[in-house]
Chain A
Amino acid sequence: MNALTPLEAETSIALGAPVDVTIDAVAKDFGDSPALFGVSLDVRAGELVALLGPSGSGKTTLLRILAGLEAPSAGRVLFGGEDALGLPVQDRNIGFVFQHYALFRHMTVFDNIAFGLTVRPRASRPAKAEIRRRVLHLLNLVQLTGLEKRYPTQLSGGQRQRVALARALAIEPRLLLLDEPFGALDAQVRKDLRRWLREIHDRTGHTTFFVTHDQEEALELADRVVVMSKGRIEQVGSADDIYDRPASPFVFSFIGESTLLPVVIEGGAVTFGGDPTGLDVNKTERREAVLGFRPHDVTLVEDDAPAIRGRIVATRRHGGRRRLELQVGPDHLRAEIDVEVGDEQPLGTLVGFRPQRWRIFPA
């Protein structure tokens, strides 16, 4: 397999003008199980957006609605201010890439990439020589020059996915939609392709949506991340927004590692299981809430000062530190904290800790 090298500066390709996309209160029911509840989102032309969420969050359904492979039960979708839902999938002019490539196995790499051009009606179909020029150009862009006569079965997974991308780009799409594009590849190839996709995007400037359940991929690659759960958008924002200012306990727990504990706020203090935790908030009225913190944002409390206390039920090595799994509170909830290697104590020991950085969410 030929390695991915940084793109050469002179590479230029003809591209469809990128459009901005408006998704307005789009809902989808499959029979009686709703998959999307009135989702709205505005995306600028040329933006690279990640739809991130666990399976069943509706992210793929939203992508397929944009493509025209599913029809929404309600709502509007606008491409560049024009209604897109009225257009059948064939006329939407979108480039779609599936997780498992969906290459045409009986066609060579060349014919796969040329497919979208060769199925055009005669009037708008480019001449043979022009199709050839474009295909070879795209092969160069995806760094597969010289492989045009191969069949898909003779390529590696990473190469197949690049053919799939070239095929999607060949029709000069207004919009690029990628459904878990790296999901079927191994970790190293995935990393290479991720960086390379970002470069391709910066060069071609397509408005791009990609679906992923891999937060690292989403945070690293996207201009904006759309976190979805159970058919709703939980938060839209940059990687920093999502990580540092999570809008909901779901986002907090889905992005990065975290512990969520039910707490009661009373007189400006946060109490857990009836005991003060040593954490203060500037609200005074009594209410129930959820405390969230990350394992690496805690300090151990040695003395009898207010703290969250629990027994160690498991320990494991976690990078440069050691992770302790604790049973905390009267309901024996799980909490995870990181301590320095050497600071740990035997299983069953009662330890106290206090989060240094933490967030309070409404219960």
Chain B
Amino acid sequence: MATPLALGRRPGVIPGFGLTLGFTLAYLSLIVLIPLAGLVVRAASLGWADFMAIALDPRTLAALRLSFGVSAIAALVNAVFGLVVAWVLVRYDFPGKRIIDAVVDLPFALPTAVAGIALTALYAPNGWVGQYATMLGFKIAYTPIGIFIALVFIGIPFIVRTVEPVLADLDREIEEMAATLGARRWTAVRRVVLPTLVPALLTGFALAFARAVGEYGSVIFIAGNIPYVSEIAPLLIVIRLTEFNYAAATGVATIMLIISFILLFAINLIQAWSRRRLG
């Protein structure tokens, strides 16, 4: 009988399980876990009553609701339109395709502050786009709509780049098969193509969502940062820091961390489930 320990050490064809696992754990600890643990320890020094006071402070709650809510909406919108962009890039050939392909990555490369300033200039009440919104009687910059636009901007590459390879690998025969069985184009896309893209879409959604929740640079310029209205949680943390209120800053940060972890873990579970079905 092999003991579980012996099983783990059985030499396989691919060597180095022990070494690589050890390295992975050490590396993740150093880069991710230790700083996060420090954060939690710092927050823990607050004491439960103080922590809850910070957590339930209306301003904190408003900021968290705004951050997670707008991030989720932006990631959803990106999932739809990012899928369309990926579809066009994979399925069609047209002049300038390479350029569009490169443009998709720009939000990755641009310093987020630059993106924020550019977007603000565009959408401010006197900006190129913002002036028309003003004429129609609403504001984009300095409202949650502005935050939404900034988060869509920084999130789009995540969806496109995760869906694109899966779509490119998708067997054309699957769609031809659906057609010979009588499925019209849209039916084939809806019933055959989209379901196979679900795991990739979920991955892209999770990445875009996580990025949006943590986004700071591009949002603070366009948001206007009005408490209870357009103040995002990361900004609230910075505000607390500048007030030398480190305890409150780590408190808000810890709450963000917990919510993010729960959400990402849930998305991961859904992903694992849908991947298992696709085999």
Stretch in A101-109, A229-237, A287-295, A318-326 with 4+ CB within 8 Å of B: A101-109
Q: A69-B176, A98-B173, A104-B192 are in contact. Are A116 and B182 (CB under 8 A)?
A: yes
The answer, yes or no, to whether B181 is at the interface (CB within 8 Å) is yes
Most buried by B among A68, A94, A98: A98
In the complex, the 5 A-B pairs of residues with the closest C-beta atoms, listed nearest first:
A153-B279, A116-B181, A96-B180, A102-B173, A102-B177
CB nearest neighbor in A for B171: A102
Within 8 A of A (CB), among B46-84: none
Decide if A105 touches B184 in the complex (CB within 8 Å): no
Q: Besides the contacts A115-B178, A171-B182, what 17 more A-B pairs have beta carbons closer than 8 Å?
A: A67-B180, A68-B179, A69-B176, A90-B179, A90-B183, A92-B180, A93-B182, A95-B180, A98-B177, A104-B174, A115-B181, A115-B191, A116-B182, A116-B183, A119-B178, A119-B181, A154-B279
The answer, yes or no, to whether A361 is at the interface (CB within 8 Å) is no
CB nearest neighbor in B for A177: B180
Residues from chain A with Cβ under 8 Å of B178 in the complex? 104, 115, 119
The answer, yes or no, to whether A167 is at the interface (CB within 8 Å) is yes
Within 8 A of A (CB), among B191-211: 191-192, 195-196, 198
Contact with B183, one of A69, A96, A119, A168 (Cβ below 8 angstroms): A119
Q: A105-B278, A105-B279 are in contact. Are A90 and B177 (CB under 8 A)?
A: no
Residues from chain B with Cβ under 8 Å of A68 in the complex? 179-180
The answer, yes or no, to whether B187 is at the interface (CB within 8 Å) is yes
A/B interface sample: 13 pairs, CB < 8 A? A68-B179, A89-B180, A96-B176, A96-B180, A104-B177, A105-B278, A106-B195, A106-B196, A106-B278, A115-B183, A116-B182, A119-B181, A171-B181
Decide if A90 touches B184 in the complex (CB within 8 Å): yes
CB nearest neighbor in B for A90: B182
The answer, yes or no, to whether A72 is at the interface (CB within 8 Å) is no
Within 8 A of A (CB), among B244-279: 277-279
Within 8 A of A (CB), among B150-179: 171, 173-174, 176-179
Residues of chain A at interface, number, CB under 8 A: 28
Residues of chain B at interface, number, CB under 8 A: 21
Contact with B along A26-51 (1 / 0, CB 8 A): 00000000000000000000000000
Contact with B176, one of A102, A104, A119, A168 (Cβ below 8 angstroms): A102
A90 to B177, CA, bound (A): 10
CB nearest neighbor in B for A105: B278
CB nearest neighbor in A for B179: A89
A106 to B275, CA, bound (A): 9
A29 to B187, CA, bound (A): 30
The answer, yes or no, to whether A195 is at the interface (CB within 8 Å) is no
Shortest Cβ distance from residue B226 to the other chain A in the assembled complex, whole angstroms: 46
Decide if A94 touches B180 in the complex (CB within 8 Å): yes
CB nearest neighbor in B for A111: B191
Contact with B174, one of A102, A167, A168 (Cβ below 8 angstroms): A102
CB nearest neighbor in A for B274: A106
Q: A104-B174, A105-B196, A106-B277 are in contact. Are A69 and B180 (CB under 8 A)?
A: yes
The answer, yes or no, to whether A18 is at the interface (CB within 8 Å) is no
CB nearest neighbor in B for A64: B176
Shortest Cβ distance from residue B180 to the other chain A in the assembled complex, whole angstroms: 4
A93 to B192, CA, bound (A): 19
A69 to B191, CA, bound (A): 20
